[in-house]
Amino acid sequence: MEPRRLEHFLAVAEEGGFTRAAARLHMVQSGVSASIRSLERELGVELFERTTQHVALTEAGRALVPEARRVLGAVRQARQVVTEVRDGARGTLSVGIPHSLTPRTVLAALASFRADHPLVQVRLAPPGQAGSPGHAEQLRDGELDLAVVATTGPLPGLRLYPLRTETMVLACAGDHPVAAREAVTLAEAGTLELLELTPGWGARAAVDRAYATAGIARRPARLELNDVATILELVRYRLGVAFVPGSLAEAAADLRFVPVEPRPPRYQVAVAASVDRPLSTVAATFLSRCLRPVRPVEMSEPAPRAIPIKRGVAVP
């Protein structure tokens, strides 16, 4: 049963005749009549009693009126929903975020997106034990639309939209022997009791890569965790020191963040998407909140300068 024939039926029923219904529908009267006859043949009943003087609903026609209105209302609702999905006003958005390492720009984008698109269901997925590689796999499998990843190089099957480059520093308690130092070398840091992220995390990969490139060995980690916030707590309680992103300094003013020189570990924070699937309108709209302009670049492009960190003193 075609919705347009129900529209024609309701127009005739509500206008009380074919002539007025045709004017309302911007159709010729013969077109309306033909549509009603087709509907009657499909249903196997007459819907109108027709005389030269008037047109009236039959019993079957009267029964059809409320059902026709219900069906057409559902059709309008379906069209509206599809239009909202097409325009990015409705739908779902699945984003992988790396806990406390999520950039504030992404969090601000999430907040503004939710405010402007209340009908979009937003699902935030933590990285789990695998870190960024886990999110990368979910992107390839289609479980996520986008993910914030930390990486030291290209990720197969993914398109990267860089946000910033993170420089790692050494976090320690204020009374630690290296707290007053201007800087520490990788070799010096490698002799200390290190609290480290688990292998697989982008920040850990940056540290491993820096030591491998320099050809320097370091002591086995005192403890490996996949939670930066807990690592900072352990540093606060003097259970070790840790390589952490310099951007965390402003959130832990009671700790010392000592620069690593001459070659500090670095990694890139980016929003990643699958290269095999086009972004939905919803995902593209959110991505535009995170990046302006939205432009994928290769990892070999120059990285943005890191925010300078005060040497050997607490960052306010």
- Pairing mode, strands 146-151 and 91-96: parallel
Q: Does the pTM of the predicted model rise above 0.95?
A: no
Largest pairwise CA distance in the chain: 105
CA distance 209 to 203: 10
Give yes or no for residue 205 having a pLDDT over 70: yes
> 30: Cβ–Cβ under 8 A, 6 or more apart, which residues?
none
> 13: Cβ–Cβ under 8 A, 6 or more apart, which residues?
48, 57, 61, 65
pLDDT tens across 45-58, in order?
A: 999 998 877 889 99
pLDDT tens across 245-278, in order?
A: 998 888 888 999 999 999 999 999 999 999 988 8
Q: In this structure, how many other beta carbons lie within 10 angstroms of the beta carbon of residue 149? A: 27
CA distance 73 to 67: 10
pLDDT attached to residue 315: 29
CA distance 27 to 9: 13
pLDDT attached to residue 275: 93
pLDDT attached to residue 87: 63
pLDDT tens across 74-105, in order?
A: 887 777 667 656 765 668 889 999 877 888 89
For residues 33-42, average pLDDT: 93
For the chain, percent of residues with pLDDT exceeding 70: 88
